[in-house]
Every structure is written in C-alpha cells, then in structure tokens.
Amino acid sequence: GVRGGAVGLVIVLLVAGGVALVAFDALFETFHRLFFPGGSYTFDPSTERLVQLFPFRFWQETAIAVGVVSVAIAAVVALVANRRLAQESTATAARPTLHGLRP
C-alpha cells in the first residue's frame, strides 16, 4: 500500500506539473474558483501588498521546489517500500514449510 501510494503521488505530481506548464492560467483559475470565494484571488499588482511582497516568480519557484522535493521524497519512499517488500518475499519463500503448505 505504501509503495502504491508513493508511486501514485509521483504520477499525480508529474501530471499536475505538466498541466501547469501547458495551461497554468486555466489551472490557476479552476483551483481558485473551487477553493476560494469569487474575486478574492484577483490582485492588482500596483496596489496589493501581497503581490508586491511575493511576486509571481516567488510563487513559481516555490511551487517548483515543493514539487521537486515532494517527488523526490515519494520516490525514495517507493524505493524503500519496494526493497522491504522484496525482502519480505524472500524471507517468506525461505521459511520452512509444514507438509509443503505455506502459512
């Protein structure tokens, strides 16, 4: 289950990253319409301090960094889970059986 979840997370993050590269504006609009009240996420860069303090490039680089770190961690978790699964399979196969029956 852990391996499957980690691999699934990697796939979802890579697909979301690909969609963000191709259609960022549509993804941004859809995300904010789903999770925020209408109009609360449109900021005028000439008057809004949030946009002045944290410009688009900051959010872009932060999203890339979080995505890369998340994919790396999920990949490591998947590899560790895969190794543990392989070790468990080897240990189960090596166990002595009673009358040829496996537990």
Which pLDDT does position 56 carry in this prediction?
Answer: 84
pLDDT tens sequence across 46-70: 888 888 899 888 988 999 999 999 9
Which pLDDT does position 38 carry in this prediction?
Answer: 80
Residue 6 CB burial class (10 angstroms; 0-12, 13-18, ≥19): buried
Question: pTM to 2 decimals?
Answer: 0.69
Query: What b/e sequence results for 21-56 when a residue is b if at least 16 CB atoms lie within 10 Å of its CB, and e otherwise?
Result: eeeeeeeeeeeeeeeeeeeeeeeeeeeeeeeeeeee
Which pLDDT does position 79 carry in this prediction?
Answer: 94
How far is the CA of 45 from the CAs of 38, 50, 53, 56, in angstroms? 18, 8, 10, 10
pLDDT tens sequence across 9-49: 999 999 999 998 899 889 888 888 999 888 777 888 888 88
